Amino acid sequence: MNTVIDRLLRRYDNAPYLLRSKARFLLYVCFSVMIIMPIGIWYTGFLQLINPLSRNAIILPVLAPSFAIMAITGAVIVFLVRGWFRVAAHLFLISALTCIWAVMLVDAAESVSRLDTISLVFAALTILPIVVLRKKRVIIIYVAANIIILYAFMFHVRSELHLSVNSFWDFLADNTLALVIASITLYNVYAINQRAIERAENEIAERRRAEEERSALQQQLFRSQKLESLGMLAGGIAHDFNNMLSVIIGYADMLKIDLAAQPQAREQLERISEAAMRSREMTQRLLAFARRQPLETKPIDLNSLIADFGSMIARLVRTNVTVDVRIGDRALMVRADENQLVQVLLNLVLNAQDAMPDAGDIIIEARTALVDARMAQRRTGCAPGRYHVLQVSDTGPGIAPEIKEKIFDPFFTTKTPGAGTGLGLSIVYGIVAQHGGFVDVSSKPGAGSVFAIYLPADGMEENERRVIDGALSSHG
């Protein structure tokens, strides 16, 4: 049975839990009505056949509302299955109430039997908390409408009921009071349940968010550990290989001196030296990724850095690529190796250019950002505080999520064979990490990419700013 219900209500799979629960309950009620109503019709018909007041015959106007309820319930099921919960819920309740009042109006039974049908009105109103989704005043409207109908009905059939004046007004007063109490109760039950469900949903959402953050932290830690392990491995190999290259280059230089009179041999030695120097450049890149390069740090203004870099990079990029260097009006001081930061910018700009073979825009800018504890937790070795950010964004095709997780892996590349070494972004990662910062990448397919290099703000600048601020405050 549950499998059938799930299939019928598959349009509610992505709906809030509260709506899914209400739709499921209403569908159960509809199925129950479709089962019970034939029994009720048979029972009512049997009572009519044995009742002298109905002349021992079936009164079709009395049974007609029951058949109408079955037809309308079928329509309600269709609306529910199509995902139209509000329409289905209000149609079901309004139709049920209309049919109950219609039965009371056309019933020819005794006064007591006729008037006790109002208990079905109370029964129908009990599903109001299920029908209402957001607007609680709908409960008051439903109850008030039924009070009005009750008075109209009683005055309309007053002569047929043969009730005394006191009995007539006692019945109206009792049922009016009962409907008022019912409205107050239903209103508060709905409000209490709504608050409880919302609180439960918030707790579930918070727990899910915490689990997602924990999973993201674990993945980030795993990637950091993987890159750290790769860095250690690459750094060890590159260091030893660089020592061997030094020997090769040294002996090649000595042989060039000894064989100065043999041009052919000297040319061959030049090829050996060139190959060794290119290999040394490769090892330097690996050492940069492994964070084993010595740094010559000094206070650097990022705005001045990108201004100088902008004049240089304009001659290196293709003519169909526009480089927009946005220079701020205040100094953003970091303590860093200027040559290494230029290498970072160069790698990012050239990488962005390669991602836009037809044409595109590259924006280089610097800004300040505050890293809170939550953001710092997601970055291994990152501390909360004030950072200055070098940002390179492009209008390229963006990066797919499955590729984004691998872009900092050494030798990983999406370029054609021979078009790249796969070390450009690895070098960026290593240099930034060696400076105590981190790289944040945001990208969606078709929406370009943004590489943000977070570098700790220079402590000297912060101290100077506090002194200046204090001096201004004292003079203010």
Span 191-234, pLDDT tens digits: 777 777 778 778 888 888 878 777 766 666 556 555 565 555 56
pLDDT of residue 56: 56
- Number of Cβ within 10 Å of residue 23's Cβ equals 23
Residues 6+ positions from 157 with CB-CB distance below 8 Å? 105, 114
Of residues 389 and 412, which shows the higher confidence score? Answer: 389
Return d(Cα 238, Cα 251) in angstroms, integer: 20
**Per-residue pLDDT tens digits for 228-263:** 655 555 655 666 666 777 777 787 778 877 777 787
Least reliable range by pLDDT among 18-22, 106-110, 120-124, 159-163: 106-110
Per the prediction, the chain carries an average pLDDT of: 77
Please compute the mean of the pLDDT values over residues 263-277 and round it to a whole number: 79
pLDDT band at 463 (very low <50, low <70, confident <90, very high): very low
What percentage of the chain has pLDDT greater than the value 70? 77
Q: Which residue has the higher pLDDT, 289 or 464?
A: 289
3-state SS class at 405: coil
User: For the residues 33-60, what does the mean pLDDT come to?
Assistant: 69
Angle at Cα 231 formed by Cα 287 and Cα 400, nearest 5°? 110
Q: Which residues contact 337 (CB under 8 A, 6 or more apart)?
A: 295, 296, 297, 298, 431, 435
Mean pLDDT to the nearest integer, 114-138: 76
| Residue 294's pLDDT band (cuts 50, 70, 90) | low
Give the model's pLDDT for residue 394: 92
Contacts 24+ apart (CB under 8 A), 161-169: 161/111, 161/114, 161/115, 162/111, 163/111
Instruction: Please give the pLDDT value at position 53.
Output: 56
- Tell me what pLDDT residue 391 has: 92
Q: State how far the Cα of 100 lies from the Cα of 105, in Å rounded to an integer.
A: 9
Residue 17 in this model has a pLDDT that exceeds 70: yes
Give the H or E element holding residue 29.
Answer: helix 17-50
- Of the ranges 23-27, 171-175, 193-197, 239-243, which one carries the lowest mean pLDDT score? 239-243
Which residues does residue 371 pair with via DSSP β-bridges, in sequence order? 385
Confidence of residue 464 (pLDDT cuts 50, 70, 90): very low
The mean-pLDDT minimum among 110-124, 250-264, 423-437 falls in 110-124
pLDDT of residue 363: 92
The more confidently predicted of residues 300 and 133 is 300
pLDDT of residue 416 exceeding 90, the answer is no
Q: pLDDT (tens digit, 9 = 90+) per residue, 341-366?
A: 888 888 888 888 888 888 889 999 99
At residue 451 the predicted structure's pLDDT band, cuts being 50, 70 and 90, is very high
Topology annotation, domain 298-465: Heat Shock Protein 90 (3.30.565)
Decide which of 320 and 126 is more confident. Answer: 320
Q: How confident is the model at residue 393 (pLDDT cuts 50, 70, 90)?
A: very high
3 state DSSP class of 262: coil
pLDDT over threshold 70, residue 285: no
